[in-house]
């Protein structure tokens, strides 16, 4: 193939192992030659020489969530630019099962591992350390993280959303969040929101702490019950956009006008949240930026002789104000 592309065998080897150091024009010639000749790289043979398989494992809580789909899409796309493939697994918010999934991925000889959130079982951390596996976490940023982390501070999301509704004049705010079991992201958002509401004296809101799963049907029923209560809250703060969208559907089913009768705010800015009627006010989690940085960082961890040089990265959420919230009339 080298002769067909008009380059040396060493250049072909560099292209397949480290494509970023080969000139663009040369890469195109090698790729064209490989396509014409029907050449398929033998990664298994290469892994025997380098001790690597060119695969990265990603363990997510669930595939049934739009924002994780966004993360996967961008993560896989960026990895492919570095000649790495992605193996995906999910644990259903069960950290014991997550450790089992990590074990399975290790049996498939992954080169690196990415986990979601900062909370994991000791068994998972032991598997990573005992196998000297390059690993990092995404979504949650924390200065006390046990692994390099790339994401946002979820407590900040809770604080920002609570402040936003409070500044609009809302004091009776129903907070619909998951219970946090196996989900430190939701737990941090909830605690961040409650800390602000308590400090501001929004006592009614603290009595409306309602456990609500990330499920449209169940969340809709729960939101309907809240809105049909003896005293309807002036606003709903949802733990993510799935719950917020369900609340909008619940309001419509009851003939309530959003935001005239009740304001609704989410967290995440999922695909489709802007297209709702009314458009959902929410805090955008930069999922694609998190994925891009994570893919580049895990590749660096895999190839770098000094992984301690790889640092964590904190990204900032962005407030997207749309039509689902309004100032509370006195």
What pLDDT is stored for residue 190 in this prediction? 92
Out of 40-44, 195-199, 237-241, 312-316, pick the least confident.
40-44
For the entire predicted model, the pTM comes to: 0.80
**In degrees to the nearest 10, what's the CA dihedral of 41, 43, 47, 49?**
-20
Distances (CA, A) of 245 to 38, 65, 98, 278, 317: 49, 13, 29, 10, 19
**Per-residue pLDDT for 303 more than 90?**
no
* pLDDT score at 47: 47
Tell me what pLDDT residue 199 has.
86
pLDDT at res. 20: 62
36 pLDDT tier (thresholds 50, 70, 90): confident
Contacts of 129 (CB under 8 A, 6+ apart): none
pLDDT bin (cut points 50, 70, 90) of residue 14 is: confident
Instruction: Identify the pLDDT of residue 179.
Output: 82
Residues 6+ positions from 325 with CB-CB distance below 8 Å: 164, 165, 168, 235, 259, 263, 264, 265, 281
pLDDT confidence of residue 141: 94
Q: How confident is the model at residue 49 (pLDDT cuts 50, 70, 90)?
A: very low
Task: Kindly report, residue by residue over 152-176, the tens digit of the pLDDT.
Answer: 999 999 999 999 999 999 999 999 9
Burial class, 100, CB count within 10 angstroms (exposed 0-12 / middle 13-18 / buried 19+): middle
Output the six-digit token pair for 226: 């809240």
pLDDT band at 311 (very low <50, low <70, confident <90, very high): confident
Give the N- to C-terminal CA distance of the chain in Å, as an integer. 77
Cα 65 to Cα 257: distance, rounded to the nearest angstrom: 27
Share above pLDDT 90 across residues of the chain, in percent, rounded to a whole number: 66
Q: Report pLDDT for 18.
A: 63
Q: At what angle do helices 241-253 and 216-227 cross, to 10 degrees?
A: 50
**What is the chain's mean pLDDT, rounded?**
88
Choose between 313 and 199: higher pLDDT: 313
Residues 243 and 219: beta-carbon distance below 8 Å: yes
Q: Is 63 left (phi over 0), alpha (psi -120 to 50) or beta?
A: alpha
What is the pLDDT confidence band of residue 293, given thresholds at 50, 70 and 90? very high
114-125: pLDDT as tens digits: 999 999 999 999
Is 275 within 8 Å of 292 (Cβ atoms)? no
The pLDDT tens digits for 133-152 are 999 999 999 999 999 999 99
Q: Give residue-wise pLDDT tens across range 252-282.
A: 999 999 999 999 999 999 989 999 999 999 9
């Amino acid at each position: 193939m080298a002769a067909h592309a008009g380059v040396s065998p060493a250049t072909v080897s560099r292209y397949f192992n480290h494509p970023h150091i080969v000139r663009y024009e040369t890469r195109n010639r090698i790729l064209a030659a490989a396509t014409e000749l029907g050449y398929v790289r033998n990664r298994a043979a290469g892994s025997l020489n380098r001790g690597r398989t060119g695969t990265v494992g990603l363990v997510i809580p669930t595939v049934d969530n739009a924002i994780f789909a966004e993360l996967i899409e961008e993560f896989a796309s960026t990895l492919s630019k570095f000649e790495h493939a992605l193996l995906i697994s999910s644990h259903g918010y069960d950290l014991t099962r997550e450790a089992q999934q990590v074990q399975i991925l290790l049996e498939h000889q992954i080169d690196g591992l990415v986990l979601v959130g900062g909370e994991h079982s000791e068994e998972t951390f032991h598997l990573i350390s005992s196998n000297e596996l390059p690993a990092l976490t995404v979504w949650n940023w924390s200065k006390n993280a046990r692994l390099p982390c790339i994401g946002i501070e979820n407590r900040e999301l809770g604080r920002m959303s609570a402040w936003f509704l409070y500044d609009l004049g809302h004091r009776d705010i129903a907070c619909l969040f998951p219970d946090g079991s196996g989900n430190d992201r939701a737990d941090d958002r909830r605690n961040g929101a409650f800390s602000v509401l308590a400090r501001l004296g929004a006592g009614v809101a603290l009595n409306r702490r309602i456990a609500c799963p990330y499920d449209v049907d169940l969340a809709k029923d729960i939101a309907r019950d809240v809105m049909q209560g003896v005293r309807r809250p002036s606003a709903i703060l949802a733990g993510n956009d799935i719950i917020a969208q369900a609340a909008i559907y619940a309001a419509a089913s009851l003939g309530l006008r959003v935001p005239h009768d009740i304001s609704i705010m989410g967290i995440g800015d999922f695909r489709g949240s802007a297209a709702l009627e009314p458009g959902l006010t929410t805090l955008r989690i930069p999922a694609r930026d998190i994925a891009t940085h994570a893919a580049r960082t895990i590749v660096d961890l895999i190839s770098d002789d000094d992984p301690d040089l790889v640092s964590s990265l904190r990204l900032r959420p962005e407030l997207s104000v749309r039509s689902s919230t309004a100032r509370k009339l006195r």
